[in-house]
Amino acid sequence: LEGEKMEETLPLIAGALMTGMGAIGGAIGVGLAASKYLEGIARQPELQAYLLGQFFIMMALIDALPIISLAFGLIQLFG
């Protein structure tokens, strides 16, 4: 790709990578958090209510990354 075509293609690739990598990172993070939550309940079932609250806080923090990445990716694609 040369010249103008390259200038049109690079923002599309960058937006696609931002969106895709954010989704992959979020999915891995959610999977790890859920597995540790279940592991904690298996070890100490009496802490289930406490761990559930902590799990929801972590899920909110983990899900922020894909949302922010999606926003920047869409800005890159359509902005």
Catalytic sites, residue numbers: 63
> How far is C-alpha 29 from the chain's CA centre?
7
Locate 22 and state its tokens: 């954010």
The half-sphere exposure of 20 on its side-chain side, counting CA atoms within 13 A, is 7
CA–CA dist 76, 13 (Å, integer): 9
